[in-house]
Structure 1
Amino acid sequence: MSERSTPRAVIVLLGLACALIVVFGVREVASIAGPVFLALVLVIAVAPVRSRLAARGAPLWLQVAVPFTIVVVVVLAMVAVLTVSVTQLAGLLPAYTTQFQDLLSQAQRIAAEYGFGNEQLAKALRGIDPGSLLGVAQALLSGLMSVLSSLFLIVVLLLSMSLDAPITAKILGSVRADHPDLVAALSTFSHKTRRYLIVSTVFGIICSTFDVIALYLLGVPLPLLWGVLALITTYIPNIGFVLGLIPPATLALLNGGPRQMLLVIAAYCVINVIFQGLVLPKYLGDAVGLSTTMTFLSLIGWTFVLGPLGALLAIPLSLLTKAVMIDSDPRAKWVGDLISGRQGTAA
């Protein structure tokens, strides 16, 4: 009598149960897991520098020191800019109390003209403050600052991973014959992650530079801060543009009224549609390998697990999960097709 195989429904339920255990386990140690994933992504981003140095016969210490120095300089520069800018923002908000109260009064008068001047509306309007309207920026920046505040841990992780990178590459190369699918999946993950980060960073810098120029010409306070925020939100899929637009548009409303706010919105829309809507997809191509639905779900999932840092690293983390769980198994190629939204990869 032949043995009955385990029902597929049981396998699916067990898989989901294990996945939930892993997700909530990682969420409990998010303060450690976040910096680890960030360090891994940064090391992958500068891996070509080490490869070129190795190809030219550079000594091992130089192969480690140069990529490590590049990453540390970038991280320290980001910390410095964010620290100064957030401090300026905290000191600037109280100065707009009067303008904000005037806007509330105008809103109440307009609401009264259309028959909405009841006590509930007045109470709701009084409960709004500038800090809550700028809460998106403050939450994202404070979340990033909390991660960057663990700078010592991040630097130690970067140094450790940089030291291990050469031997890790040799080990993967030596086991390629025994585990071709896993090594190929990890190589594809590194390539796609690096291409995604580099292309997104280049276009994010270009786009945020034009945003800063537009904000400066329009007279919006702290244009450099909002430019840095626009660059950071470049890595947040689907809703990054909106998150980067809300704070400067709100500050423009408080600073110069509805006209200045509309000009900021128009400038951001034109700049981002040109660069991120038309130009960026042509250079990025199918580097992400995730469908629109899966991209959005990965954003929600990783934000739940790691907080604001999870939103920034949603794409690389999803690519890593896909490489380990799906791409490394030839039998799961059809699942890869569903996740990527493209046919042709299934066996």
Structure 2
Amino acid sequence: MRNNTFSGPATIFLAFIGIILVTLGMQAISSMIIPLIFSFFGALVFAPLVRWLQRKGVPNTVSVGLVVFFFILAIIFIGVLTVISIVQLNQQIPIYQTQLNNYIDGISQQVPSPEDFSISSLIRNITGSLIAVSLEIVTGAINATTAVAIIIITTAFLLLDTLGISAKTIKDAQENYVLLRNIGNFSKGLMDYVVIRTETNLITGAGVGIVLLLGGIEFAIFWAIVIFIFSYIPFIGLFLASIPPVFLALLQYGPVGALVVIAVILVVNILAENVIFPSLAGKGLELYPSVVFISLVYWAYVLGPAGALISTPLTMAVKVILESFEETKGLAMLLGSGKNQEEIEETEKADA
């Protein structure tokens, strides 16, 4: 009788091909799935707050409306400040370019270079590339406004749908299906991650913003918000967000001013990370640092800047799905040393 099971190498090859096809498929429809992913995560994060309002006697629809309302207010505040800053920044770009050219000419006169090599041309190419990247980021931020509206509406509907399901039904379903139980645990872990990450980013952004204000760096509040948002991107987010204020400090105060801004950003970030968020594989993550970095590269390739922003929660979700099936639990262990099911149940009993 012929055995229909695949050999080890054949299984690995088929799995590899499947990953490639899924990756290419997600990349092709990234503009469609990004709002859905943000909406799903938003519903998971805001659901505990909605249920808290319910326990305080607030009606279901009103509780969802209040949460969505404050969510919209926060987005409007950041959006208005961003638009105003971008308009003012565009007006200042010709001035910055003139200052930069003068600065580069001064450097090229002081530093000798071979006849077939121009330091000023090299610096202009580098700065031109940085400006192009900055403009691309700005364009992406402006184009994201339509996606934000879809995210808000979809999140509201998801929250309303979850309120229509009784707690008993959810409990019974979680007892019968491991995946649903793990999604519930993932929701708690995601909430912990978002809260801790937000506190860390807030301290970093506020600390850097205060120093930039005291130093007279232009658009200091806007750069503080950019640092706050970009710090959700592991490892490289703070570096990308620090380029514009360091560049302005260089134009305003020279190399010494730029070095001071770099030092302040590094010190504030180190203090915030060590006090609030000791490591990227800390509470609520349960992922190896190497996995966090690889997932950043992968999701940025698949979904673009939005994928980089939510690369860690996406990898946490993949780990939860892998943990829900006996055949893939070994792969989940490769992503991180998460709690086993017995530890999770003991934690839930202790919380109860």
TM-score, normalised to structure 2, is: 0.88
Q: Report if aligned partners of 2:292, 2:312 keep a CA contact under 8 Å in 1.
A: yes
Unpaired stretches in structure 2, ≥5 consecutive residues: 343-352
Q: Counterpart of 1:338 in structure 2: which amino acid?
A: L
Matched residue of 1:285: which SS?
A: coil
The structural deviation recorded for 1:135 is: 4.3
State the alpha-carbon separation in 2 of the partners of residues 189 and 140 from structure 1.
31
Give the C-alpha shift of residue 231 in structure 1: 0.3
Q: Report how far residue 279 of structure 1 moved.
A: 3.4
Cα distance change on mapping 1:126 and 1:226 into 2, 3 Å = closer
Q: Is the 8 A contact 2:192 2:283 kept in 1?
A: no
| 1:107 paired residue number | 107
CA–CA distance in structure 2, aligned partners of residues 299 and 39 of structure 1? 20
Find the counterpart in structure 2 of residue 69 from structure 1. Answer: 69
Residue deviations 1:6-25 (CA, integer Å, cap 9, x gap): 11222222222222222211
Residue 330 of structure 2 aligns with an amino acid whose one-letter code is W
How far the C-alpha of 1:82 sits from its partner, in A, is 1.6
Cα offset, 1:58, TM superposition? 3.0
Alignment of 1:142-291 (within 5 A): 142-167=139-164, 170=167, 172-179=170-177, 181-281=178-278, 285-291=282-288
Report which stretch shifted further, 139-148 or 207-216: 139-148
Amino acid at match of 1:251: L
Q: How has the CA–CA distance of structure 1 residues 136 and 204 changed in structure 2, closer, same or farther, with 3 Å as cutoff? A: farther
Pair 1:95–1:258, CA change in 2 (3 A) = same
In the other structure, the counterpart of 1:120 is 117
Is 1:338 the equivalent of 2:325?
no
- 1:205–1:231 contact (8 Å) kept in structure 2: yes
- CA–CA separation in structure 1 for the residues paired with 2:12 and 2:164: 37
Task: Show the counterpart of 1:328.
Answer: 324
8 Å contact from structure 2 (residues 205, 227) kept in 1: yes
Please tell me whether the aligned partners of residues 133 and 250 of structure 1 are also in contact (alpha carbons under 8 angstroms): no
Task: Give 1:56 shift.
Answer: 3.4
Cα gap change, 1:132 to 1:235, in 2 (>3 Å) = same
Please say if residues 143 and 307 of structure 1, whose CA atoms lie closer than 8 Å, have aligned partners that are also in contact.
Answer: no
Does the Cα contact within 8 Å between 1:93 and 1:131 map onto a contact in 2? Answer: no
Asked if structure 1 preserves the Cα contact closer than 8 Å seen for 2:287 and 2:338, the reply is no
| 8 Å contact from structure 2 (residues 189, 285) kept in 1 | yes
In structure 2, C-alpha distance between the alignment counterparts of 1:287 and 1:205, rounded to whole Å: 18
Amino acid at match of 1:335: L
Aligned letter for 2:25?
G
Whether the 8 Å contact between 1:234 and 1:241 is mirrored in structure 2 is yes
Question: C-alpha offsets along residues 118-158 of structure 1, whole Å, 9 cap, x if unaligned?
Answer: 33325733743755334454433432332223343223212
Aligned-partner residue type, residue 44 of structure 1: L
Quote the residue 2:346 is aligned against. Answer: none
Shift in CA distance, 320/167, structure 1 to aligned 2, threshold 3 Å? farther
Structure 1 residues 276 and 156: alpha-carbon distance in aligned structure 2, compared to 1, 3 A threshold: same
Separation (CA, whole Å) in 1 of partners of 2:197 and 2:123 = 40
Q: Which moved more, 1:138-147 or 1:24-33?
A: 138-147
The alignment status of 1:312 with 2:309, answered yes or no, reads: yes
Distance 1:237 1:126, change over 3 A: closer
Match of 1:97 in 2: 97
In structure 2, C-alpha distance between the alignment counterparts of 1:346 and 1:176, rounded to whole Å: 13
Equivalent residue letter for 1:167: G
Call closer, same or farther: CA 1:124–1:131 in 2, change over 3 Å.
Answer: closer
Q: Report the Cα distance in structure 2 between the residues aligned to 1:117 and 1:169, rounded to whole angstroms.
A: 76
Report the equivalent of 2:30. Answer: 30
> Who is 1:295 aligned against?
292
**Sequence identity, in percent?**
24
The one-letter code matched in structure 2 to 1:306 is L
> Residues 249 and 265 of structure 1 are in contact (CA less than 8 Å); yes or no, is this contact kept in structure 2?
yes
- 8 Å CA contact 2:182–2:324 kept in 1: the answer is yes
State the distance in 1 between where 2:74 and 2:7 align: 51
Q: Which has the higher contact order (CA 8 A, sep 6+)?
A: 1
Could you tell me which amino acid in structure 2 is paired with residue 182 of structure 1? L
The CA deviation string for residues 141-195 of structure 1, in whole angstroms up to 9 with x for no partner, is: 432332223343223212222222223675543312221x212221122112111
| C-alpha RMSD of the superposition | 2.5
Maintained 8 Å contact 2:281/2:289: no
CA distance in 2, matches of 1:261, 1:130: 15
How many residue pairs align between the two structures? 341
1:304-340 alpha-carbon deviations (Å, 9 max, x no partner): 111111111111111112212x121134333222211
Q: 1:254 to 1:186 in 2, by over 3 A?
A: same
